[in-house]
C-alpha cells in the first residue's frame, strides 16, 4: 500500500460552482500508477466547498448557485459574523452544508466517477482568492 499527498492551488474563481475534475487530475500524475485505491480531496477553506455532481450540463451548476443563494440568503438580520461583507456568513453556512471533502475510488489509474459525475468547487465568496485542495492518494501500485 502506498500513499501520496499534494497540495493543489486552484486559481481564483468567481462566485458559483465550478467543475475542477480535469484540473485536479492534471496535477496528480501519480494517479496513473495506482491499480486500486482511494483519492481524498480536502478544501483548506471555510468559505468554499467540494461536491460531486453533474459534469455535462452547466445549467446544473447555475441552478445550484441559485438554490443556495435562495436557501442561504445574504444580509439576514440574525447574522452576527459579517466582518468581511454580506457574503461572509452565507459562505460559511454553504461550505458547512456541502462539506470540505470528498473521496473517490481509484481503479486502473483513473478516478471512478460515474459517466455524468464531476468534482465541483463551490466558491461562495464574491471576491475569492486562490483555493488550496489537499489531495491524498492511497492504494496498491500497478505491478
pLDDT at 8: 98
**CATH fold for the domain made of 27-134:** Jelly Rolls (2.60.120)
pLDDT at 54: 97
pLDDT at 75: 96
Q: Which residues contact 120 (CB under 8 A, 6 or more apart)?
A: 17, 18, 19, 20, 50, 51, 52, 53, 61, 64
Neighbour tally for 64: CB within 10 Å: 19
pLDDT at 78: 96
Q: Which residues of 72-106 are buried (b: 16+ CB within 10 A; e: fewer)?
A: beeeeeeeeeeeeeebbbbbbbbbeebebebebeb
Determine the distance from the C-alpha atom of residue 41 to the mean position of all C-alpha atoms in its chain, rounded to a whole number.
Answer: 7
Beta-ladder partners of 10: 131
pLDDT at 131: 98
* Alpha-carbon span 45 to 134, nearest angstrom: 11
pTM comes to: 0.96
Residuewise pLDDT in 10s, the chain (143 residues): 999 999 999 999 999 999 999 999 999 999 999 999 999 999 999 999 999 999 999 999 999 999 999 999 999 999 999 899 999 999 999 999 999 999 999 999 999 999 999 999 999 999 999 999 999 999 999 98
pLDDT at 45: 98
Amino acid at each position: 500500500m502506498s500513499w501520496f499527498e499534494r497540495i493543489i492551488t486552484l486559481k481564483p474563481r468567481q462566485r458559483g460552482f465550478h467543475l475542477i475534475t480535469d484540473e485536479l487530475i492534471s496535477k496528480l500524475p501519480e494517479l496513473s500508477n495506482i491499480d486500486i485505491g482511494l483519492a481524498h480531496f480536502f478544501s483548506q477553506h471555510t468559505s468554499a466547498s467540494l461536491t460531486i455532481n453533474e459534469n455535462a450540463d452547466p445549467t446544473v451548476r447555475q441552478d445550484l448557485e441559485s438554490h443556495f443563494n435562495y436557501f442561504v440568503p445574504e444580509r439576514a438580520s440574525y447574522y452576527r459574523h459579517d466582518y468581511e461583507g454580506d457574503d461572509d456568513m452565507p459562505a460559511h453556512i454553504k461550505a458547512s452544508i456541502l462539506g470540505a471533502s470528498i473521496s473517490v475510488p481509484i481503479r486502473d489509474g483513473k478516478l471512478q466517477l460515474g459517466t455524468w459525475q464531476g468534482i465541483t468547487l463551490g466558491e461562495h465568496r464574491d471576491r475569492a482568492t486562490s483555493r488550496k485542495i489537499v489531495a491524498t492518494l492511497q492504494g496498491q501500485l500497478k505491478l
